Amino acid sequence: MEPFKVHILGCGSALPTLRHNPSSQVVEIREKQFMIDCGEGTQTQMRRSRVGFNKVMAIFISHIHGDHCFGLIGMLSSFGLLGRTMPLSIYGPKELGPILDTLLTTFCNDFDYEIKFHAVDTSRQEVVYEDRSLTVETIPLKHRLPCAGYLFREKPTLPHIRRDMIDFYRIPISQINNIKNGASWIDEEGNVIPNSRLTRPADPPRSYAYCSDTCYLPGLADRLKDVTCLYHESTYADEDEDKAQKYFHSTARQAAMVARDAGVGRLLLGHYSSKYNTEDVLLQQAKEVFAESSLTSEGMVVTL
């Protein structure tokens, strides 16, 4: 099975602390890397996590609150200083476009790589990126500014060849691709060897959803059905549900309700308020609703 990992670079909220950095993650899938959000300090976190700067193919920004994008221009500048030549695509709400243009003109006007900005519609769920191995969809969220989450879906792979059967029936290597694509084999005596005997089922496609920042949206579960792993903001505990409602954030319990209703495989909690000295209460309240809940922390690598 090809690697599908999520590197947690920052899982705090607006105010950086000595325990947590602002939001940023890198999704690594089939030797490609994609960044989600780029809060202050992301570059340092990448170095600590040994995530390569030159492998990032695209950056997805959820919204233009500072704790999700203050690190972006510094990151782009470092890419240039490191001699990057590969084009870079940036996806985010349309409001990010003019801000990005001003910053690039001021600080990054002499680098040797092209930056392409793609405005996303935060009100619709649609595919905004696609290549041979995956798609990335937007997830409409509800926050104080236009905001979108991102859903990474691995494309189905071909079945696995049973090497023992290939050798037993003396099937030429030239026929392997045909068999992977569903062909059976006819031996020298005219017997049909069914494809099911020559292959094992492909690995089930995996998926990862990133939802930060948003108030509790009961209908969000319908957009996340059976996702392998969900990261959902859990800024507050139950005692601060009024603050969550006021600032369009979610509690850990509400995040767990979304995970439960969507039938996801695993819930990752993050975007913690700086008021908490420990997130144990958030984890406890989430687990009361959805047992497969866990806290994120900087440097953590989640393998799907």
Best CA proximity match to 206, nearest among 131, 153, 129, 151:
153
For residue 216, the SS3 value is: coil
- Dist. CA 20–CA 226, nearest whole Å: 29
Q: What angle do CA 262, 265, 268 make, to 5 degrees?
A: 90
Amino acid identity, position 302? V
Q: Are 9 and 211 in contact (CB under 8 A)?
A: no
Q: Which is the catalytic residue, given 37, 67, 242, 261?
A: 67
Helix or strand or coil: residue 136? strand
In the chain, % helix, strand, coil (3-state, to 5) comes to: 30, 30, 45
Give the three-state DSSP class for 161: strand
User: Does residue 280 carry a catalytic annotation?
Assistant: no
3 state SS of 47: helix
Q: Which residues are catalytic?
A: 67
